[in-house]
Structure 1
Amino acid sequence: VRGCEQVEAIEYYTKLEQKLKEDYKREKEKVNEKPLGMAFVTFHNETITAIILKDFNVCKCQGCTCRGEPRASSCSESLHISNWTVSYAPDPQNIYWEHLSIRGFIWWLRCLVINVVLFILLFFLTTPAIII
């Protein structure tokens, strides 16, 4: 029967593994071409984390950020660390990793469209016919 050829399991899964590795390599290259503009950094203990956070957020006074310069290193200028915003990240289980690549404008546009559609749908489905 055409389309139902018998194939050895080892051969089939070896080809499947190769295909998945190629797909992975292509996706990895695609990710490197389009950086997200953010990084997640982990430290060994809370003390080091607090020092780094304090160093980057030198002075915050009543909602106004009076940024001082963090300690300089040999790479500070090339990395433009004065433009960084440093904060504690949420627990990795609470992050929607697939949504990180969605930029601000597109995210707000999607949010607006979804909410408008939901409003219209719910308005007409929950309003009694006598009022309309």
Structure 2
Amino acid sequence: MSAALRRALDVPLVSLLVLAGCGSSLPLPPTGPHLPSEPTVVVPFPPPPARVEIVSPPDRPDLVWIDGEWQWRSRRWAWQPGRWEVVPKGAYFAPATSVRRADGSLVWFAGVWHLPGKK
């Protein structure tokens, strides 16, 4: 193999190894969908992009990280910082999201825990 070809292959390989080391080691909650019965809020425009947060270490080993999210408060978006929480037994977390309905309206779902047996 020529030296030029070896150098050409080394750059992608090194990049791949660096990216592999950037994976998340945060303990995250089990996630799932929002339910049709959940309350929604009609909003006039989508939330801004998420903010970058510095994650502090958890106080206890049984906690999972819940990402920060934008929440609709009256007539504006307000940032709710991320936090460490205990996973309720058998529950999953449905992250905040906004969805465009067929009629063109935009609805927002808050991030919530869904407990087993509750609909």
TM-score (norm 1): 0.24
Greater RCO, 1 or 2 (C-alpha within 8 Å, sep 6+): 2
Higher relative helix content: 1
* TM-score normalized with structure 2 length: 0.26
Q: Which has the higher strand share?
A: 2
Q: Which has the larger radius of gyration?
A: 1
